[in-house]
Structure 1
Amino acid sequence: MEKILIPLHENEVAPRFDLASEALVVSVTRETSVMGQIHERVVVLDTPSGEAMYQLVKSENVMTIVCAGMDKEIFEFLKRKGIDVIDDVCGPADAVLEAYLMGKLAPGQILH
């Protein structure tokens, strides 16, 4: 199973990973090489912070984060922990997730 996290602001990718008050956590079980079963849920954080978001990443065993931006220090920390970060991504969370699942999402991509 693969887990993806997208920080949210009003159903869009939040401008900052560490300032988002909620996150979309997506679990994907691939049954074929293209698609599989997808389970989505939104998690609301008590206090937006890089530490709170990292604790969510850790507790959910997230392997990939898709975000617009984050501090370089947080980015490097996550990479050292083996978490893939696709950053500088903007757009509605559903369009971003769809592009990711289709293997068509890259850093710097704007989807609107």
Structure 2
Amino acid sequence: MARVIIPLYGMEVAPRFDLTSEVWIGVQGPDGHFLEERTVVMPQASAENLCQLILSEGADVVVCGGVEQEHYDYLVWKKNTVDDDVIAVLDAAKKALEEGGLRSGAVLLKRSVEE
């Protein structure tokens, strides 16, 4: 089982790690599907508070948008897998995680092109 944390901005992966005030937490079963999920509201947006939450929750994977190098390095040093530069709505990120296809730099938003 893997514990996954995704900082949110509304229903999307937050574009900036340090400005998120909401975090989605899910527990992924051996088959890849999420067995548990919940959303936590942070008392204030802070990269340090978010790192502390990630560690206290025992996260294995962090999916995020932009993250400063020092926070990225810290989380990797603490043995977290960090998939950064992800642009997606939460449901698309969850689906990609369940299918084993989410990677850093993934763009999972579909934009309509008006002619």
Give the count of matched residue pairs: 109
Alignment-derived partner of residue 63 in structure 1? 60
Per the alignment, residue 76 of structure 1 pairs with 73
Match of 1:19?
19
Match status 1:105 vs 2:105? no
Aligned equivalent of 1:47: 44
Kept in 1, the 8 Å contact 2:3–2:25? The answer is: yes
Structure 1: gaps spanning 5 or more residues = none
Give aligned-pair identity as a percent: 38
Shift in Å at residue 3 of structure 1?
0.2
- Measured in 2, the distance between the counterparts of 1:73 and 1:59 equals 19
Quick one: distance in 2 between partners of 1:37 and 1:10? Answer: 20
**Structure 1 Cα separation of the partners of residues 80 and 3 of structure 2:** 10
Runs of 4+ more than 6 Å apart: none
Post-superposition offset of 1:38: 1.8
2:86 aligned counterpart, secondary structure: coil
Return the letter of the residue paired with 1:16: R
Structure 2, unaligned stretches of length 5 or more? 110-115
Per the normalisation by structure 2, the TM-score is 0.89
What is the CA–CA distance in structure 2 between the aligned matches of 1:50 and 1:37, rounded to whole Å? 26
- Change over 3 Å in CA distance of 1:16–1:37 after alignment to 2: closer
* Helix, strand or coil at the partner of 2:35: strand
**Max Rg structure:** 2
Give the superposition deviation at 1:42: 0.4
